[in-house]
Structure 1
Amino acid sequence: MRILRLVVPALVVCAALSACGTPTDDPAGPGTPTPVTEQPTALPPTAPAPSTATETLKPPGGPSLPPPVGATELTGTVTAGVEPNCLLLDGYLLIGGPRDVLVAGSRVTVTGRVEAGMMTTCQQGTPFVVEGARKG
């Protein structure tokens, strides 16, 4: 009885799959290749390549001068991000730094560098790697 419960569903599946195989009204018969009547067209157009000139966009409230070689300094009020443990300062996502100083709602000055290509799970802000932070 147990074998019958296994065999019947297997046969039903095989019958259903074999019905999806080849159409029965194929005049050439199974296994006969269909001749190509037209040549394949060119590949679809690809997206234009990015230009070599890059444009740097400054988040609102960021430094007003171009950042010097080395560290950049930001001052403002830390806000909480949409994800847990994500902190923002003037459109920048704060990566690292002393968490006793970097608390949502506190006014701080941080030094560090922008890492625009860094991937994060915070979903907002331009990553800013904090090298130092102080209140005020």
Structure 2
Amino acid sequence: MRGLAAVLLCLVLASCGQVPPPQAPASSTPTTDTSTPSIPAPLPPSSTPLPTTTTPSRALEPGMTTVRGTVSAGVESGCMILNSGGEQYLLLGADPAIAVAGASVEVTGRADPGGMTTCQQGTPFHVTSTRRG
């Protein structure tokens, strides 16, 4: 009886690995994938107005905003907040050599009011450039 159970167990285990992969329907002509890799869509523009200052000599992409203010440390470790005109922006991707607590800076990027972060403070702002302001 024990030998029969061992044989059945071996048959069951052996059959598990022998399921053939699904086959694509046969085609008379070979196909080549000529598609380009997908690129994530940019974040939609914020419906919340942001205090902005743009420099006429610099053309910004649609949805991009330039904000000036003073940087402060956030309530969570490693979180930097830009205080600008009564608004707080959580700086994501700002140059850490420039965006230090107490510094006046100008950042360009995109606000992401619905974005999730662990910082629990300010509107997330994805920074593309940072400069002393």
User: Aligned partners of 1:131 and 1:108: how far apart in 2?
Assistant: 13
Counterpart of 1:48? none
Report deviation, 1:57.
Answer: 4.1
Counterpart of 1:115? 112
User: Aligned partners of 1:112 and 1:58: how far apart in 2?
Assistant: 14
Which residue of the other structure, out of 58, 77, 85, is the alignment partner of 2:78?
A: 85
Letter in 2 for 1:122: C
Cα distance change of structure 1 residues 75 and 88 upon mapping to structure 2, 3 Å threshold: same
> Could you say what the CA RMSD is over the residues aligned between the two structures, in angstroms?
2.4
Identity fraction in percent: 47
Point out where structure 1 has 5 or more consecutive residues left out of the alignment: 1-54
Is the 8 Å Cα contact of residues 53 and 66 (structure 2) preserved in structure 1? no
Report deviation, 1:64.
Answer: 7.7
Point out where structure 2 has 5 or more consecutive residues left out of the alignment: 1-45, 55-59
Which residue of the other structure, out of 84, 93, 97, is the alignment partner of 1:96?
A: 93
Kindly report which structure 2 residues correspond to 1:15-94, keeping only aligned pairs within 5 A, or say none: 56-58=47-49, 62-63=51-52, 69-90=62-83, 91-94=88-91
Cα distance change of structure 1 residues 64 and 101 upon mapping to structure 2, 3 Å threshold: closer
Structure with greater strand share of residues: 2
Cα distance change of structure 1 residues 64 and 130 upon mapping to structure 2, 3 Å threshold: closer
User: Aligned partners of 2:53 and 2:127: how far apart in 1?
Assistant: 19
Letter in 1 for 2:104: R
Letter in 2 for 1:73: T
Report deviation, 1:75.
Answer: 0.6
Report deviation, 1:86.
Answer: 0.6
Report deviation, 1:71.
Answer: 1.6
Counterpart of 1:132? 129
